Homo-oligomer: A and B are copies of this chain.
Amino acid sequence: MKNLKEKFNKVRQQTEKLVSTLSPEDFVVQPVVDVSPPKWHLAHTTWFFEQFILCKFDKNYQEYDKDFNFLFNSYYESVGKRVLRANRGNLTRPGVKEVLKYRAFVNEKIDHFLENQHLTTEMADLMELGLQHEQQHQELLITDIKYILGNNPLFPTFWESNVKRHTHASLKEDYTEIEGGIYKIGYEGDGFHFDNEEGVHQVFLQPYRFMNRLITNGEYLEFIEAGGYKRFEYWLMEGWEWVKAEKISAPFYWHQVDNQWYYYTLNGFEKIDLYEPVTHISFFEADAYASWRGKRLMTEFEWEVAGKKAEPVINGHCNFVDSESFRPKFNDNQTPQMFGDTWEWTSSAYLPYPYFKKAAGAIGEYNGKFMVNQKVLRGGSCATPADHIRHTYRNFFHPHLRWQFTGVRLAEHI
């Protein structure tokens, strides 16, 4: 179990590293319901290990604090009453220091557990799930912190990026063709994967072609300047109502100052870079953009086939992921940017695969119960941990949401 212990400590440390530049105040707030306070993420991921490993398998374990189960459960109805999601940002106690103590306490107990306990498959699977879960929250930490800082009129810098900014132009638009026919979909192999990827099955795809890179800020700006946000004919009706009700006129974090476009990045407030992939757009915007271009988004199945063909992922990792720049890559290299730049909205609704079975008990609530009214995203973003980059990974959000690093790639039938 040495590897698991090492991985455990590495993942746990990475979470704390991510919040190392925050002030105590930054840890508390919840400006909108989708965003959770950073200290909640820190505690909730710890609660997961406490609840599903220590309370379950360690007979001598005493809960750190009974109230914490109540405070840091997220949406597991099986595990008792939880703090309503919208109220997370009103809880100033326990504070950050106390939460870090809680983390240290559970870390030590888990270390001890891993050293002294023969792990059954169930235990190892739950440990792995806990780590994957924490990594998902690492991504959410980044996007939630971006929301918290990016909506402050002072626009504070979160992270000094080492990314060297390029200035040369965008890669030419090109397309790769995929033949029609039967393809296999779903996770095959021995590695970790979520229940929603399981159940390898066949789908029939009509022939199509997909773009060799993501749409850039510059290209998206043309859509804005062509009146894209003012012409209903490009929009789904719910998208159009959203545009009007929320007065949407540009990607999230974009601001127009004296006729010049700027955006908030985790490195500060900057002029938008025309050659970077556009990000922080909703499904509605991605779909409207594609419609304006006379093209469309891929289905998640088309994406999976395209991803497998276009950009091999070696040893479960994608070489191109640089998860600490926290901004999508330039598109001047020769890769199709399918992994680790922006999540790509697909046209697919998030639905169960044919043989999907949700697990018994609380773990069964992990994925299955969200399978309505959400869209699938594929590929992973610049905030996604490398372990989560794979062809079969299915992410999902409601179609109006924009606080994740979400972008757009075009496709069409042949």
A interface list, Cβ under 8 A from B: 23-29, 31, 39, 67, 70-71, 75, 77-78, 83, 87, 89-96, 148-149, 151-154, 156, 182, 201-204, 206, 232-233, 235-240, 283-284, 347-349, 351-352, 354-355, 364, 369-373, 375, 399, 413
CB of A198 to closest CB in B, whole Å:
14
Q: Complex: how many Å from CA A359 to CA B290?
A: 16
A141 vs chain B, min Cβ distance (A): 14
| A29 B90 Cβ-Cβ under 8 A | yes
Do A152 and B204 touch across chains, with their CB atoms under 8 A apart?
no
Closest 9 CB pairs of A and B: A349-B349, A24-B24, A31-B90, A25-B92, A204-B204, A237-B369, A77-B232, A26-B92, A23-B95
Q: A399 vs B87: C-alpha distance in the bound complex, in angstroms? A: 25
Question: Which of B28, B71, B75, B201 is close to A92, meaning CB atoms less than 8 Å apart?
Answer: B28
User: By the criterion CB–CB under 8 Å, are A236 and B182 in contact?
Assistant: no
A92 touches B29 (CB 8 A): yes
Most B Cβ at <10 Å: residue of A25, A95, A148, A373? A25
Given contacts A90-B29, A95-B25, A154-B93, contact A237 B370 (CB under 8 A): yes
Q: Which of B83, B87, B148, B203 contacts A90 (CB 8 A)?
A: B148
Bound complex: CA A112 to CA B25 (Å): 32
Q: How far is the CA of A198 from the CA of B228 in the complex (A)?
A: 28
Within 8 Å CB of A29, what residues of B?
28-29, 89-92
6 intermolecular pairs with C-beta atoms under 8 Å apart:
A25-B93, A83-B153, A203-B204, A233-B364, A239-B372, A372-B399
Are the C-beta atoms of B373 and A399 separated by less than 8 Å? yes
Q: Which of chain B's residues have a CB closer than 8 A to the CB of A71?
A: 153
